[in-house]
Structure 1
Amino acid sequence: MTGYRESVRSLLKERLLDAAYERVTADGWDRLRMAHIAATAGVSRQTVYTEYGSKDAIGQALVMREVERFLAGIGEQLDAHREDPREAVRAAVRFTLASAADNPLLKSILTSSRGGEDDLLAHLTTRSEPLLETAGTMLGDYAARAWPFIAPDACDLAVETVVRLTVSHIVQPSAPPDVTADRVSLVLARIALLPEEDGARKDGGPET
């Protein structure tokens, strides 16, 4: 019976997040109210408060659910280039940035922040520890298994740097995804002491 209750509660939480996602992507985070989530999900407002407690908790749950979805796609990109860590990270970063640019929730987060409502953006910036820890753990575990030839200390530093740079460019992109992916993969190569790519100078630029 306990397992059944947990399953039902898990389904309810997903239902509430689906409702919140629908309202946020349609109307923006600043206009979201717990009553809106309840009405969209077809439950009482008290049910929303019982499951999540606050609007901020809903926001964190929404962001973390998107992170988990992104990580599934990132894993596929890494697997497709498992033999080459630099190309694997390049593909993963390119996928992440391109997907983020088209993600309705992330668009809403960034749009709301430009309007002065930055509560949800904080889960990508000043209160991003859960995001960074989840992504860092996934990539760190993957790198340790797939690329044991990278020294552990260098691997840890490379993973942290790649994750933080990628999240930074999601929030404030400074170049197209392909360009940023190339730069981040170069950072990985330098930190992990990977061999230079064919046709690249020591400074990472193309041969002339």
Structure 2
Amino acid sequence: MDEREQKILDAAIRVFTRYGYKRTTMNDIAAEAGIVRQTLYNSYGSKEDVLRAGIRYFSDTLLAETQAAVDTAPDLAAKLDALFAHMILAPFDMMSAAPDAEDIVEGFNTAGRCEIAEANSRFEALIAGMIAPYARNFETAGVKIADMPAFIRSSAHGYKHSSLTREALVGLLEILKVSVLRLAGAA
């Protein structure tokens, strides 16, 4: 990705967050990026294309930050804390600050399903690497290690979407963390 594309996508994320998906126009994105509309159209043919690219860019950035934090964490508990801080709490905080959060989520769901599915797969691969050293303990507990990454990711995402407050979300993530640690034999 070149510098211009990064500038456009940073601007698009800010505008989508500010106005929601439906109310955002290509003119809004171009103005925020400091470019003319035709330059935006030269890179992206539609608002949906910008949204898909923005989701990919946001998830790539989030995944890289999460991976870096997980890689430096000393144990599974700290790795789970880092995972939840980056993958769940940071996006929750961003969406909580957005006035049209429901519209953003709806836009993500309609225009970016494939991008979101790909991002979920990459997060699950990261989780699989985190818990791989504990495979025997999971299996001994009667849990298939192959099922755990999707379980952890989907549980955490479900909590993010259903929690009304950050405090409630943090509490649910703590329960998930304790459960995973016990199954892993790391608690």
> Would you say the 8 A contact 1:23–1:32 is kept in 2?
yes
- Shift in Å at residue 48 of structure 1? 2.0
The answer for the alignment partner of 2:93 in structure 1 is: 102
- Shift in Å at residue 52 of structure 1? 2.3
TM-score (norm 1): 0.67
- Shift in Å at residue 105 of structure 1? 8.7
Structure 2: tracts of 5 or more residues without a match: none
Q: Between Structure 1 and Structure 2, which shows a larger proportion of helix residues?
A: 2
TM-score (norm 2): 0.73
- Shift in Å at residue 162 of structure 1? 1.0
Which of 16, 23, 46 does residue 31 from structure 1 map onto? 23
**Pair 1:87–1:42, CA change in 2 (3 A):** closer
Inter-partner Cα distance in structure 2 for 1:105 and 1:60: 21
Q: Which moved more, 1:104-113 or 1:70-79?
A: 104-113
The answer for the alignment partner of 2:135 in structure 1 is: 150
Percent identity over the alignment?
17
Structure 1: tracts of 5 or more residues without a match: 1-8, 198-208
- Shift in Å at residue 118 of structure 1? 1.7
**Pair 1:167–1:126, CA change in 2 (3 A):** farther
Which of 146, 160, 165 does residue 170 from structure 1 map onto? 160
Task: Please say which structure displays the higher CA radius of gyration.
Answer: 1
Partner amino acid for 2:94?
A: N
Which of 124, 127, 147 does residue 139 from structure 1 map onto? 127
SS at match of 2:2: helix
- Shift in Å at residue 187 of structure 1? 4.2
> Would you say the 8 A contact 1:86–1:189 is kept in 2?
yes
- Shift in Å at residue 80 of structure 1? 4.8
- Shift in Å at residue 95 of structure 1? 4.9
Q: Flag the structure with more relative contact order, 1 or 2, with Cα contacts below 8 A and sequence separation at least 6.
A: 2
Inter-partner Cα distance in structure 2 for 1:127 and 1:43: 25
Matched, 1:75 2:67: yes
> Would you say the 8 A contact 2:160–2:169 is kept in 1?
no
User: How many aligned residue pairs are there?
Assistant: 180
